[in-house]
Amino acid sequence: MQFSIILEAQTADPSRAAETRVLRECAQQAVAAEHAGFDRVWAVEHHCLKWYAHMSAPETFLAYVAGQTERIRIGHGVVCLPFKMNHPVKVAERVAMLDVLSEGRVDFGIGKGGTQQETGAFQTDVGDVAPQLEASARMIPKMWSADEFEIHTEMMEIPPRPILPKPLQDPHPPMFMACTREETLNQAGEWGLGALCLGFGGPDDVAQKNKVYRAAVARRTAESQIPDFPVEHLSALCPAIVLDDGDAARKIGYRGQRFFTESISHWYNPGAPPPQEIADGEDDAEALRAAGEAIVAYLHEERIEAGSEATGLYNPNHAYGTTADAIAYVERLVEAGADEIMFIMQMGTVPHAAILESIDRIGKHVIPHFRR
């Protein structure tokens, strides 16, 4: 089993001063994760999603973290691959440079960055994102292995060029893909990529995703495979706040998840309001459940199927509580088929001190339980 944290740089206060503080706190949390024995830190890439994710330049953030750490792996979770967001030559150069300077610690995740809010900032139609992602994903490993790379298609024209530097990891860093739906799980498995399951659905949902992913892995062929070597690895998102006071941890976790849900809903559902001020004394767990019941009822009424990427956001049952609560929840994720537990603690309203304490407790009690 591997253990990691994933960072969005969420902030309930989007002022410059608060944003600066949150980004620096994220770096401190990554360093603390190394000291606590975590295997990996993942940094997302999102653009123009105020409140929800201010981590717009993960290549810079991860380089900063790499310079302050020695052992922990440095994960792009993920690089958005639409051409105008990140040209494939620049991605190959940046990832290889980070791999060299971090002494071979990079894990390379790919994804779409597929909301109109994001793609529109880069003059890219949402419909063009999926084919560009696959085209870039197939080009980049070839850039790392070839002395000179060239391609001549309707989609991309690159004359013969040496793409430099080459990564330290030979032939290249392990490759992963963000997966929320069965479509992307099937692609990840057939393409030979690790699956980063970034959903709040819980152990039953992870078990279903694991079933789909492993079946896709079994269908992989030499023609479908993208990297020089396949990665069979399923990372399961695990929302967590772990404190000595379990009730306090649950209260902080529920409120953080509620902020996460309201902020992502604002950008992914046109017309949804921005995240709301939450009054002290509100029952955030009950608010999550009520909102979840409302969305399911609406979707049922309209005969629209809701995937776990939507409904799971309203599930308040995660690793919030004491170390015993966290161990019990993680055990369920392991039984569901996870190869890696990807803890998410950095949600917009969660205090930095609570995240640091959670990292420390997970490192002292949860990780050793599974290492044994």
- Whether a cis peptide bond, with omega within 30° of 0, leads into 41 is no
Tell me the domain boundaries of the chain. 2-241+320-371
Neighbouring C-alpha atoms within 13 Å toward the C-beta of 127: 0
Predicted TM-score of the model (pTM): 0.94
Mean pLDDT of the chain: 94
Q: What does CATH list as the number for 2-241+320-371?
A: 3.20.20.30
Q: pLDDT tens digit string along 149-166?
A: 999 999 999 999 999 999
Greater confidence, 114 or 14?
14
Give the pLDDT score at 101: 98
Q: pLDDT tens digit string along 300-341?
A: 555 555 678 777 787 888 999 999 999 999 999 999 999 999
d(CA 198, CA 250) in angstroms, rounded, equals 21
Contacts of the segment 160-168: beta carbons below 8 A, 24+ positions apart: 161/89, 163/89, 163/92, 163/93, 164/93, 164/96, 165/93, 165/96, 165/97, 165/100, 166/96, 167/95, 167/96, 167/99, 167/100, 167/104, 167/106, 168/99, 168/100, 168/103, 168/104
Give the pLDDT score at 295: 60
Mean pLDDT confidence for 268-285? 81
Greater confidence, 261 or 366?
366
Mean pLDDT confidence for 216-232? 98
Q: pLDDT tens digit string along 76-85?
A: 999 999 999 9
The answer to which of 63-67, 110-114, 360-364 has the lowest mean pLDDT is 110-114
